[in-house]
Structure 1
Amino acid sequence: MTAPRPDRPPTADLARLAELHGVATSYRPAPDRTVTASPVAVTRVLAALGVDASTPETIRAALAARERELGARLLPPTVVAWQGTEPAALGALPAGTRLHVETEQGATRTTVEGLPPGVHRLTATAPGGRTAEAHIVVAPARLPAPAGRSYGFLVQLYSLLSRRSWGMGDLGDLGELAAWAGRVLGAGFVQVNPLHAAVPGTPTDPSPYRPSSRRFPDPVHLRVENVPEFAHVEDRERVAGLLERAARLRESVLDKGALIDRDAVWELKREALELVRAVPLGPGRRAAYDDFLAAHGSALQDHATWNALAEVYGGDVEQWPDPLRDPRSAETARARAELTDRVDFHTWLAWLTDGQLVAAQHAAREAGMPVGIVHDLAVGVHPGGADAWAGRDHFATGMSVGAPPDAFNARGQDWGLPPWRPDRLAESGYAPYRALLQALFRSAGALRIDHVMGLFRLWWVPQGLPPTDGTYVRHDAEAMLAVLVLEASRAGAIVIGEDLGTVEPGVREALRERGVLGTSVLWFERDWDGDGLPLPPAAWRPDCLATATTHDLPPTAARLTGEHVELRDRLGLLTRPLAEERASAAADTAEWLALLTRLGLLDGAGFTAGESEGVAVASEGAEESGAAGAEARAAAAEAEVDVAEAAEVAEVLAVHRFLLRTPARLVGAWLPDAVGDRRPQNLPGTWDEYPNWRLPVADAEGRPVTLEELTSSARLRALAEVLREGTREGGP
């Protein structure tokens, strides 16, 4: 047996075999550079797809088998039919092939012409009796563009605390923010972080981008008092005690500077919800719960079973007894029966959370928001979580999703998320993907898809290898897009793709063709093919959500002042000397400020005549001696702070005025920017060094700002007024 050597390129046979299975043997990090994938990585990725490529002999045998399979195949497992066009796969069928279609609506057809949108079953019978069955996805040609132009706020929900929340922002807070922002500020949407169910642990991973389940939401986001049965809990003394503990937890964050403690919040809410569950559901509520159980079927039962088992054995499936690692084993069935009460508890929690998500979207639309809540879809799930356990046949064993080395990270990235197998998805008619989208669109006016390039290809990293030794694996991008467009159109929702960073040629064009919006962040929008200078607003693409920053980037005030460089220096994250990093950041900011000034968006950098005069008078007074001099120096210091803050506010407003000058259909403002918060919610490259995903929204001094205080913030209202005027019909 001859193992592939990592220092040699894949052989011609291995390269051909990989190509036929959608596995890349090279990639291009830049137009003028090609990197060859490691044969070891290619071989291990093929093994995860069920293909033995361990020796030259097995490679030749697998290649011959694959070529025979494809040569004999009448249809691919899933066929795509964009309405108004003939599927390419049908054009290649032999003359005289008969078609039979069973639609998801229950009708039968002998042609694909005029099929309604949906996922149907297609049977093709060629002359001679050769047959093939396939799923056929019929989708509108594209999603409609958003109606008009609108602006909205971007916020991590856990960070948005009100004086009613229990230590972290919740769905009640989300509904309140949306109702207020829509009715008072004329905002069109609120975008939040993924609200997927987390993996329980001690402590729980606070990142919303490595969940246990993407299909089902996390009940930690529940507003307990909004559950109707809460008012009927008989033990009012215990309820009062829970509310007192909730107040202490809330005050520890808002008034004492503690970090958000998701585990403490969930411990308290779980105790409260156990009490609430003892209250019988009324007839109407019981009927609604039964409908929810029927609608989600075995998928919900699997999710709840995993959670019940995790209460007994912990959140790491690898530590469970072997038979329980298989969701279909007889032992798992027995455990489910023994844990019936706990399984029902978790299905009930999923129902409650789904209801409050729907209520938040209803509040947003009732407030006049044309879009409403924008939910976020993470790239993948935790390898030991509920989705990976329940749907393990659809996941690639021993693989993790990541990113290859690039200009921002020379070592590449391993995100620790198992990828879906493209072949298994296609064979199922993309059933898990469809179910996931349907669940999310129930309560979404729009869906942001993190790393939307993953619909086309993903970087797979074999377990035990560094991210540099991975390779790309392709999905059927047309099918992935068709399912996305189908489900979004059924929900009447918008789709926003996060397409930042290195994007394969043709991806943005394909997304735009199907009506999927992109994401444009100010600091990255430069003329990279020309002089590298900031891109003028007219040159921006219209089909996008335009923002100044994101949760992974410095807030605008920190970027403008260079504080983000100082933070990275304190944490040892700089790759160049501090002086170089400072100079580079200052030059970058200066170029943007110069453009804002040329466009008339930053006249005087925010210094009004009165403010400038006040600084001058105070400074002159500072030359005096004695008590009067001390007072004057204090007045000068205060005036300088006021002027500095005014200049900062003016620059933040100018940045957003610039976004409004672009043709972007949606303009988003990072909510912490509206109150001067300097701290990123997540600092990539850190774990314990920085409190990622645990910071409340705060002002420039780091003092937490409640939802109630946000509504009276003059700084926020000034930004909202700029955005509201700029997105009115006829605005810039």
Structure 2
Amino acid sequence: MGLARLAALHGVATAYAPSEGVTVPVPDTTVVAVLAALDVDASSPAALRDALNRAESAASARLLPPTVVLWCEGAEALPPAVLTALPAGTSVRVETEGGGAVEWTSPGPGDVASPADVAPGVASPADATPSADAASPADAEPPVDEPGFWSQLPLGVHQLCAHAHAPDERVARSTLIVAPARAPQPDRRSYGFLVQLYSLLSARSWGMGDLGDLAELATWSGRALGAGFVQVNPLHVAVPGTPTDPSPYRPSSRRFPDPVHLRIEDIPEYAYVGVPDRQRLDELRDEAARLRESVLEKGALIDRDAVWALKRAALEIVHRVPLGPGRRAAYCDFLAEQGQALEDHATWCALAEVHGPEWHSWPAALQDPRSPETARARRELMDRVDFHGRLAWLTDGQLAAAGQAAHEAGMGVGIVHDLAVGVHPGGADAWAQREAFAAGMSVGAPPDAFNARGQDWGLPPWRPDVLAASGYAPYRGLLRGLLRNAGALRIDHVMGLFRLWWVPEGGPPTEGTYVRYDAEAMLAVLVLEAHRAGTVVIGEDLGTVEPGVREALTHRGVLGTSVLWFERDWAGTGRPLPPEHWRDGCVATATTHDLPSTAARLTGEHVALRHRLGLLTRPLEQERTQDAADVGEWLGLLTGLGLLPEGRGDEEGQIRAAYRFLLRTPARMVGVWLPDAVGDRRPQNLPGTWDQYPNWRLPVADAEGHPVTLEELAASPRLHALMAVFGPRTAPPDARSG
């Protein structure tokens, strides 16, 4: 019981439910290891008793939690329970991020304050109110137990100070997050393409899709097709290496974009490279053309390392061109705005060039980003630090240009960026913020119906206690960096805002456990930063989702993700869910990067692929029979709704029917998997494989497996036939006149 109580006080689960009515206990060794990662020693009975006494004493003595959330519901804003529960007479002061202050005295739980008990405050200089001496009863602030009082607090991240007077005399200083009730919503229903950017090659890209291609895709699809958005994979910077991990979901840093996505010719300084550097640039472009042709014409895989080698050589040349006064001023502004985070990132990149990309193997003193030795190394490597800082600035600029192109093309949402669930343990973020990550732990997933062995993603989790104590500063900085150029943000495994499955290092995923986060605070930060950026938020909520999570996300305006093949009446008949029963607050799509393309699903080719790779858990014929039955049910529904006039024997017609169905749902956004538009059979990623399948390295291809360029996509009759489905209607039947 003592271990369970201690674990509960730190948000660590001692059991979990993989399915309804089933409870699985977590091994005590796992609980002890996870607590140790939170700096809680429960390794012996004596240590456990001491830790439990300290935790219970701290909980009973705590006046306020480290972070407090106030949802601003307009005039109906209600105070957080932790503030209304303060002892009577507690002095409370909010120091706003804008430099103002609001003060009051707590009336105590269950008491009612009169206006005279409330000291009017100043939320900001522009909203100044009379001093307490000048205020008459009629002009005084509303009592603190009335909603009107709380609406005076401005949105933002503020400092909250509380002092409980004698005989209590406790003092607390917390972060107060005042957030709007909901994240921004799409201004109208829309559809758009989903694409892995690296897979979208054009006649101008250097062997993989780049930000110039993204801008071109957004401009064309917005202007010619009426698309409202383009959703891409995470563009986070990768860990350098030979070979580099190609997965965009295991980055070095989530805060900064990868310069491998740069369109070299679009950098302004490129035009001013002189001789003989110009000759070398031309040679690099020729090499890039050969690399591109090897993918498009010879069937080679996308080689990110080869692309980066060419681009890096070109960037070294372009970097030697001095910035003009205006460009220099803009770069300096970017450095100042990004501050310590960019300095740390660029320092890690410079140190990795000298000592390798795994910082745990660096000299001990350099493993600490704040050590004097690291500061000295930064000075000695200042030219390289500047180089990597410049790359972050250039990439940010091209991301902004892609977003602007989407806006000018009439897209209501624009570019939808993707936030990976974590970072590589040896990368820049894990080094720069190592105190915020749980040492010896990895994020994964417990055993479930789809994977009896569970999953270990090899990503260190954030410590919930450190996040809360910092006012969620790392999380806030991450979101601001991503949202600055996003029309919308997709959050991979959005359930991680509530809890994550921690796996102790060296142990199997089956011996992990859930660790809880303050979901209210995580959501408040997300909604606040999305509000500031005017950005829509989409949560990837596929798979095992605990009760209440989708409801909480919906309540805060976070759209979900609904995939055709998974939408069934699971609580009833188990049959495909009719379109009118789908939720409206979602992005509806036929597939994702982790699933078979629609053509592969309809033809059963995905089953054959998994059989060839030894991934099936049942006999082949049994898998084929079940798959054919599932597809048959969906085709039956599509036919019954009149959405398949081409007949069941027409593959292209079946794909069009799937998207006609999605348009019948009330979903706010409908995503078209770009490879579906040309009949691509291959998944971009096949979970459960590593070197058995070329994950994250395939170009968009047609039904025969021939790569298709952006220019060919724009001229494809098959693509235009599919997109014609979206011409007559982009709203559900009952909203066509709205």
TM-score (norm 2): 0.91
The alignment status of 1:33 with 2:73, answered yes or no, reads no
Aligned partners of 2:490 and 2:726: how far apart in 1? 21
In structure 1, the partner of 2:122 is none
Contact conserved, 1:549 with 1:670, CA < 8 A, in 2?
Answer: yes
In structure 1, the partner of 2:551 is 509
Could you give the per-residue CA deviations for residues 349-393 of structure 1, whole angstroms, max 9, x where no partner exists? 000001101110110011000000000000000001000000001
Find the partner of 1:229 among 264, 269, 272.
269
Aligned partners of 2:364 and 2:617: how far apart in 1? 45
Aligned partners of 1:287 and 1:43: how far apart in 2? 52
Aligned partners of 2:464 and 2:646: how far apart in 1? 56
Aligned partners of 2:412 and 2:528: how far apart in 1? 20
In structure 2, the partner of 1:215 is 255
Could you give the per-residue CA deviations for residues 302-331 of structure 1, whole angstroms, max 9, x where no partner exists? 100111111111111222122211111222
In structure 1, the partner of 2:680 is 677
In structure 2, the partner of 1:654 is 657
Aligned partners of 1:719 and 1:158: how far apart in 2? 23
Find the partner of 2:71 among 76, 82, 106.
82
1:236 shift after superposition: 2.1
Aligned partners of 1:35 and 1:214: how far apart in 2? 34
Query: Match of 1:134, as an amino acid?
Result: S
Query: Match of 1:231, as an amino acid?
Result: A
Aligned partners of 1:681 and 1:525: how far apart in 2? 22
Aligned partners of 1:130 and 1:428: how far apart in 2? 21
Runs of 5+ consecutive residues of structure 2 not aligned to the other structure: 105-149
Query: Match of 1:155, as an amino acid?
Result: V
546-555 or 25-34, which moves further after superposition? 25-34
Could you give the per-residue CA deviations for residues 224-248 of structure 1, whole angstroms, max 9, x where no partner exists? 0000000100032112111111111
In structure 1, the partner of 2:51 is 62
In structure 2, the partner of 1:73 is 62
Contact conserved, 2:94 with 2:102, CA < 8 A, in 1?
Answer: yes
In structure 2, the partner of 1:637 is none
1:728 shift after superposition: 5.2
In structure 2, the partner of 1:114 is 152
Aligned partners of 2:681 and 2:208: how far apart in 1? 19
Aligned partners of 1:109 and 1:346: how far apart in 2? 43
Aligned partners of 2:587 and 2:690: how far apart in 1? 29
The alignment status of 1:134 with 2:166, answered yes or no, reads no
1:723 shift after superposition: 2.0
Query: Match of 2:265, as an amino acid?
Result: E
Q: Does the residue aligned with 1:336 lie in a helix, a strand or coil?
A: helix
TM-score (norm 1): 0.92
RMSD: 1.1
Aligned partners of 1:339 and 1:29: how far apart in 2? 50
In structure 1, the partner of 2:351 is 309
Aligned partners of 1:60 and 1:508: how far apart in 2? 38
Q: Does the residue aligned with 1:603 lie in a helix, a strand or coil?
A: coil
Aligned partners of 1:21 and 1:238: how far apart in 2? 58
Aligned partners of 2:465 and 2:36: how far apart in 1? 13
Find the partner of 1:274 among 316, 319, 322.
316
1:144 shift after superposition: 3.7
In structure 2, the partner of 1:553 is 595
Q: Does the residue aligned with 1:429 lie in a helix, a strand or coil?
A: coil
1:731 shift after superposition: 4.1
Contact conserved, 2:685 with 2:695, CA < 8 A, in 1?
Answer: yes
After superposition, where does 1:408-557 map in structure 2 within 5 Å?
Answer: 408-557=450-599
Contact conserved, 1:41 with 1:470, CA < 8 A, in 2?
Answer: yes
- Percent same amino acid at aligned positions? 72
1:596 shift after superposition: 0.3
Aligned residues: 682
Could you give the per-residue CA deviations for residues 71-94 of structure 1, whole angstroms, max 9, x where no partner exists? 111100000000112112101101
Find the partner of 2:92 among 69, 91, 99.
99
Aligned partners of 1:147 and 1:293: how far apart in 2? 33
Aligned partners of 2:58 and 2:652: how far apart in 1? 64
1:604 shift after superposition: 4.4
Aligned partners of 1:731 and 1:268: how far apart in 2? 50
Q: Does the residue aligned with 2:729 lie in a helix, a strand or coil?
A: helix
The alignment status of 1:571 with 2:574, answered yes or no, reads no
In structure 1, the partner of 2:161 is 123
Query: Match of 1:123, as an amino acid?
Result: C
Contact conserved, 1:151 with 1:724, CA < 8 A, in 2?
Answer: no
Query: Match of 1:136, as an amino acid?
Result: L
Contact conserved, 2:191 with 2:671, CA < 8 A, in 1?
Answer: yes
Runs of 5+ consecutive residues of structure 1 not aligned to the other structure: 1-11, 607-643
After superposition, where does 1:251-330 map in structure 2 within 5 Å?
Answer: 251-330=293-372
1:335 shift after superposition: 1.2
Query: Match of 2:535, as an amino acid?
Result: A
Contact conserved, 1:187 with 1:724, CA < 8 A, in 2?
Answer: no
In structure 2, the partner of 1:195 is 235
Could you give the per-residue CA deviations for residues 170-211 of structure 1, whole angstroms, max 9, x where no partner exists? 000000000110011000000000000000010000000000
Aligned partners of 2:424 and 2:729: how far apart in 1? 41
Query: Match of 2:574, as an amino acid?
Result: G
Find the partner of 2:715 among 709, 712, 715.
712
Aligned partners of 1:107 and 1:32: how far apart in 2? 52
Q: Cα 1:724–1:97, aligned 2, differ >3 Å: closer, same or farther?
A: farther
Could you give the per-residue CA deviations for residues 628-669 of structure 1, whole angstroms, max 9, x where no partner exists? xxxxxxxxxxxxxxxx6xx11100000000001111110001
Q: Does the residue aligned with 1:653 lie in a helix, a strand or coil?
A: helix
Aligned partners of 2:387 and 2:722: how far apart in 1? 44
Contact conserved, 2:255 with 2:482, CA < 8 A, in 1?
Answer: yes
Q: Does the residue aligned with 1:532 lie in a helix, a strand or coil?
A: coil
Contact conserved, 2:66 with 2:468, CA < 8 A, in 1?
Answer: yes
Find the partner of 2:693 among 671, 682, 690.
690
Contact conserved, 2:180 with 2:531, CA < 8 A, in 1?
Answer: yes
In structure 1, the partner of 2:147 is none
Aligned partners of 1:494 and 1:669: how far apart in 2? 18
